[in-house]
Amino acid sequence: MSPGSFLLRRRRWVAGLLAALIGLIAQPRPEDLLAFADLGRKVLAGRLDEVYAGAFTQAGPLQLVLSRWLLIGGEAAMPAAVVRIVVDVALTLGAMAACRGRPVRECVVAVLALLWLLGPTPWAGHPVEVAIPILWCCAMVLQRDGRWVVAATLLGASVLIAPIAVLGFPCLLAVAGPVRAARTALMAAGIALSGFLPFVVSGEFGMFGHVWPVNPGTLPYLLGLRAATWTARLMQAVVVSGGCALAAVLLRGRPVAVAAAPLVAALLRLATDPIMFDYYWLPASVGSVLLVALLPDDLRPAWQVSAVVLGYLTMLAATTDQGAIGAAAMLAGYLALAVSVRPRRATYV
């Protein structure tokens, strides 16, 4: 047996071991994880009136609790090695599983996922938010299969990780008609609101008092905005959700829609955001890996290569100062790539 054949046959073991090694040697110090873990401890202790007492906390309660769990056994703001290993291995093998048993495709996706894990993004800022695009994708699959209650639950959970996850709700239009998509989205919104309600009624709820600075070079800055309040965020949500809805309709029936639609939502958010942090690229990076995993084998080789290159560039973009421009450019590339995939079913009712 040749070395290449052996690696192909044992690809998941090899990828899992490499992911474990990366998790072992990585030394991440997510900037907000310790603060979120402290707030998560208050949630678990029932001190709900203290969690959103100021304007600092923009994360959802589920993210706060998960942040607390991520730091169990860790030192200071760094998760324990076993936690890092489990997360990195799960993300890598999960990406490979999305390839649906295609050996060569699994190897390509594993390399892309491992390159991403080697960078700073997976554990930057708010690592729990890596789950948001995964929840979007799973909700789309469940919606397509008629399990809309579970789909709504997952979408609601994504908002309880971070309110920005509501931008992914229009992704449902890629796998369902407007009536069914709206029904699921409304139920998801109700689940999310019910999760925040105990904190609202328990005392001061200062989340909506937060003001973001506006970075030079961003679209809001070019439009004359110098500080972004929640009012500006709502305006951004209208733009991003509308663009995501249009893209989702365009992607209807295509096998890559469950990755491409969330990717569009993530990149539109980046292209319109007033401020740029590394962890803002988490949904886009995960979506790019999933898109490569779902590409059909009969797509032209040039498009296949383009998808991998775009995926790698998406990971690198998190470390640049031109995030908005890069997000807009990659959005155009990904849309062209996704539309080139033939739909299996043209419409949904």
Residue of 299 and 110 predicted with greater confidence: 110
Across the range 339-349, mean pLDDT stands at 69
pLDDT in tens, 275-301: 888 888 889 999 999 999 999 988 888
The strand pairing partners of 228, in sequence order, are 212
User: Is 344 a domain residue?
Assistant: no
The strand pairing partners of 212, in sequence order, are 228
> How many residues does this entry show for the chain?
349
Return the pLDDT at 4. 61
Across the range 77-91, mean pLDDT stands at 91
- Lowest average pLDDT, out of 71-80, 177-186, 251-260, goes to 71-80
- The answer to whether residue 171 scores a pLDDT higher than 90 is yes
pLDDT in tens, 114-166: 999 988 778 877 899 999 999 999 999 999 999 999 999 999 999 999 999 99
Across the range 33-51, mean pLDDT stands at 92
Residues 6+ apart with CB under 8 A from 36: 59, 63, 64, 67, 68, 126, 128
Four-CA torsion 306, 121, 215, 225, nearest 10 degrees: 80
Give the domain extent around 295: 3-339
pLDDT band at 322 (very low <50, low <70, confident <90, very high): low
User: Is 181 a domain residue?
Assistant: yes
Number of domains in the chain: 1
Average predicted confidence (pLDDT) for the chain: 90
Across the range 182-205, mean pLDDT stands at 94
Residues 67, 55: Cα–Cα separation, whole Å: 19
User: Is 179 a domain residue?
Assistant: yes
User: Is 345 a domain residue?
Assistant: no
User: Is 13 a domain residue?
Assistant: yes
Cβ–Cβ under 8 Å, residues 249 and 202: no
The strand pairing partners of 75, in sequence order, are 78
Residue of 336 and 5 predicted with greater confidence: 336
User: Is 347 a domain residue?
Assistant: no
DSSP state of 211: -
pLDDT band at 345 (very low <50, low <70, confident <90, very high): low
Residues 6+ apart with CB under 8 A from 208: 55, 230
User: Is 227 a domain residue?
Assistant: yes
